[in-house]
Structures are given as C-alpha cells and as structure tokens.
Amino acid sequence: MDLWTPEEKLNYVYAFMKYNNQDVILDFWQDDFIMNRSRFISLLKSRQTGFSFVVAIKGLVKALDPARTKYTKQFVSYNEDDAQEKIRYAREFYESIPDRYKKKLIHSTATMLEFEDIGGKTTSRLISLPCRPPRGKNGDVCLDEFAIYLPRLSNEIYTAASFCTLRRGCIEVGSTPLGTIGKFYEICTDKEKYPNFDRYFVPWWYAKVMCKDVKNAVQIAKDMQTEERVMTFGTDRLIDIYRNSTLEDFQQECECSFIDSASSYISLELIFSNTPGKRECDVPADSVSDEEYFSEESNTGISIKAYKDVDDLIANYKPEVHGSPLFLGYDVGRTHDATAFYIIGMTKDGKKRSVLRCEMRNTEFETQKGAFCKLYDNLPIYRGAMDKTGMGASIYEALQKRYGDRIEGVTFTAQSKEQLAMSVKFGLEKQDFLLENDRDFHAQIHSIKRTATVGGFRYDAERNEKGHADSFWAWALANYAAEGKNRVINFYDQWAQNKRQSSEIILTQEQEGSRARRGKSLQSVLNHYNRRR
C-alpha cells in the first residue's frame, strides 16, 4: 500500500470533510499548502486567512492515511486557547468523515487526538502545545504565530523542532509579522541563511473572506498602493478596518509588512515575563517524561484568562482564585474609542492578577454606568480609578456621589499618562503582575510609544480599528487604584513628588552607588481590607 499522493490528499479533503455541516471550501493557497511535501515551509500571512484551519486539515489527512503508521504532528501555538483550537478543528473534520474512510479514534483530549493505525499495532497522533519546545518522536512540527515568540525562545523552539524532524517530517512556520527581530523574521528575509524554505506570502487579497475578487487581485493588487487595492478589492468589513487603522498597523496585520517596533515603551520580553504560560519557569524541565510533557494537565491551566463579560465574572468570581480585594480601572469611550473596564485582584502573595477585561463599543453612558454599578455592588472592589476627561467628567461626578472615595477621577494629561505608564512598567520590571495570555491585550501594551516633546514625553498609541489602547489605560488605572490606598495627596501632586523623588534617587545613586529601593507595601491594603470584612 502506497502513501497518498498530494492530489489524493486534497481529493480526500473535498470528498469527505465538512465544517459547520458544510463542505470544506479552501482558498487556492490552502490547496497548494495541503499538497506541499517540502521539508521546510514558511508562511508569512495576514490575520484571519485560515492558517490554523489548514494546518489542522493537513495534519489530520496525514494521520488518517491508511499506509502511514506511527505518524506524529506537533502544533506549537501562542497560548492554550490557540493550541486547543487546532485540536477542535481536527476533531470536527474527523467526525464529519464516514467511519469506513477513517482510522479509529482511540484517545482524545483538549490537546491531543490519537488514532489506531491499520493493523492495530501502532498509533498516530496530533498533539498541540502552548508555546513550548516540541519533543519526542520524529514527525511534523507546526510553529504558529512564530513571530511573536521572543528571540531566545524562538531559537530554542526552532532547534527542538529541527531535531524532531531529523529522521522524517517537516517544519511549518507561520505567522503575522511582528517587528524586525526574531527567528521568523530571519527565515522570511534571509534566503541565504535559510535556503531550503519554501516560502508562502499570503496577504489579505489571497483570502475570499476579505477579498471580493481573489482571481484578479492576485494578479494586480501587489502593484497598487494600499488604499487603492483596499478600495478596489476589499470587502466592506475590510474597508471598515482599513479606515479605522493607521496605515502602519494595517500593513503589518493584513499586508505582511515587517514594521520596526523598537520605539515601543514596554517590550514583549517584559510583558511575557509577567504572563503565566510565557515565562521561562512555565516550560517543563528536561527531566519531565514525555507522558507528563504531553499530558493535558501539563498543557492547560497555566495561562490566566480574564473574563470579557461583567455578568460572567460576577457569576464565577472566586476570591481564592481571582484574588481579593479587587481594583478597577475605567477608561471612558463612546464612538471612536472603546469603553474599557479592567479589574485586577490581589493574590495571597501580593501579585496583581488579571480578572476582567471588558470592552464596550458605541455604548451609551447609562449602559456604561450600569455595568460599573453592577461590578461595584456585587464584587469586593476596594478602590477604582477612572478617566474623568471631557465626557467622563459627568459620569465620574455621578459615580463619586454614590461610591465616595472608593472611586477616584483622573484627568488624562501628558503628566498623568506618564505617571500611569511609568507605574505599570515599574511593576512589570518587578514582576508584580499575573497577566492574561491574550495576544490582543499584549499588543495593546506593546503599542504604547514614548515620544519626546518640548515639555517632556508623550505616552500613547496610534488609533486602530480596535480603539486607542483603551484596555491598556483601563489596566493602568486599575494598577493606580491598587497602589493608591495610602495616597492622601492628589494625582498631580503625586506626579510632581514622584518626579522629585526620581531626581533625588539619581543624584543619590551618583554619589553613593545604586541600591535597591522598595515602594510602599501592598500588604497594608490587604490587612486594611481584611479588617473591614
């Protein structure tokens, strides 16, 4: 019995597989990708082009090939949700195939599918891992969103993948670009150093979900300017995204352009060092057995997930899990920007854990106030801070009358934003946070730029289709509320005092040498809260 040919693999997909009870329909590049037998494949892609979808199909087809035995494919993804998504895709495709045309599924978890090979003596597996080096049997390895991995980890993962494919198998690396550093950037741009890669370029106009006329766009769109091709070939939804994005952001997210992110105020390294599931300590030691390494327990429950809905948090809040007391940040928006609520909880060891990240778009102020009151009335929120700039002033006045000094208003100015941004960065440097493992939130933090002005520095992000880093500022306000229990002076005096203290510290260090300095302990907040309870 011979292995399926590339054409037979594709025919198998179209003959038997369904998604959402509909026949699978693929873009032209996905057809080619499924048939590709190269050992090294890289795919530079737009967002929402269906990479997870197609790599799950390709892995499943190879695992179900009757002539193939002992096959293993490992997917390495950005976080637990992305890792589990590929298995969910593969499971749905598998269940849509008639029994007589597929191998028997003998073991299934959120992160693995195992099939009994023909003859019953061996098995084939699909395994999905959250951002950790692959290991174990030789086989295929897929590295998804590879551009987002830090340089050290990307090198470690790529090296491990290379050894996993030493005897047989292939390496597939795919990602939307992110900055001009890292292994993925090198693979895509340095053809002399990586000569064996079969490189795919998949911008938005290669995907039917974003392009009205893929056939013609493939021929001529690449020679157009961004605005011209969006208006000529883009769907209405894509045009909306373009109109609400900066050109730089759109070109990076949808047109496969590598943009230098060196001016970001907070580095990805700093973000990841505070994100369970991304920290070095979250990767199992080399001494761990393969069985433990690939187990569902080892690959789930590490990352923190913040609730996105107010009612969901209220219904599921557990002090021992989410921390207590809670602190809230509220960034007011109405039309161009989103309204954002962010809640952090204080854990027993003093860490600030992400609990809620709720964004509301085009939401009336009464609805926003209703959500705020629901949170305050049903959760142990000790203190909150909110944006009282412009349209936020009247909302703050109403909430302050009801909740008193449990809510503090902050007028967004260059000085106040500097204090907020510096405070969260200082906390990140001390690893005070337990952040949610979420690409969009990480991107908001990373989008903050520090720009020199005549009066000092400006801290802000460019507006895109998702807002203006609204969740970042809500998070920074929540952090400000958590740090502010012992603050008795107003925000602007606090800012000035901090600036003076910074200067004094610098002068002292020049004279006496550097020495560690600690801020006020948050334990006093916890003790005070416990006494109130």
Instruction: Enter the pTM of the model.
Output: 0.70
Q: Angle formed by the axes of helices 491-512 and 414-429, to 10°?
A: 50
Q: Give the pLDDT of residue 338.
A: 80
Q: Give the pLDDT of residue 492.
A: 46
Q: What is the DSSP string of 161-176?
A: HHHHTSSS--EEEEE-
- Tens digits of per-residue pLDDT, 312-368? 999 999 999 999 999 999 998 765 568 999 999 999 999 999 999 999 988 888 999
Mean pLDDT of the chain: 86
The ranges of the chain with pLDDT < 50 are 464-467, 486-492, 495, 499-500, 502-520, 525, 529, 532-533
Separation of alpha carbons 468 and 325, rounded Å: 28
Give rounded-to-5 percent helix, strand, coil for the chain: 45, 20, 35
- Tens digits of per-residue pLDDT, 407-463? 999 999 888 988 899 999 999 999 999 999 988 899 899 888 877 665 567 787 665
* Domains, in order of start, for the chain: 6-203 (3.40.50.300), 304-527 (3.30.420.240)
Q: CB-based burial of residue 300 (10 Å sphere; 0-12 exposed, 13-18 middle, 19+ buried)?
A: middle
Separation of alpha carbons 528 and 325, rounded Å: 10
**Is the Cβ–Cβ distance between 143 and 165 less than 8 Å?**
no
Q: Give the pLDDT of residue 415.
A: 86
Q: Give the pLDDT of residue 145.
A: 92
SS3 assignment for 451-484: EEECCEEEEECCCECCECCHHHHHHHHHHHHHHC
* Tokens describing residue 85: 């998504």
Q: Give the pLDDT of residue 507.
A: 38
Q: What is the DSSP string of 289-314?
A: -HHHHTSHHHHSS-SB--BSSHHHHH
Q: Give the pLDDT of residue 494.
A: 52
**CA nearest to 441, candidates 415, 461, 419:** 461
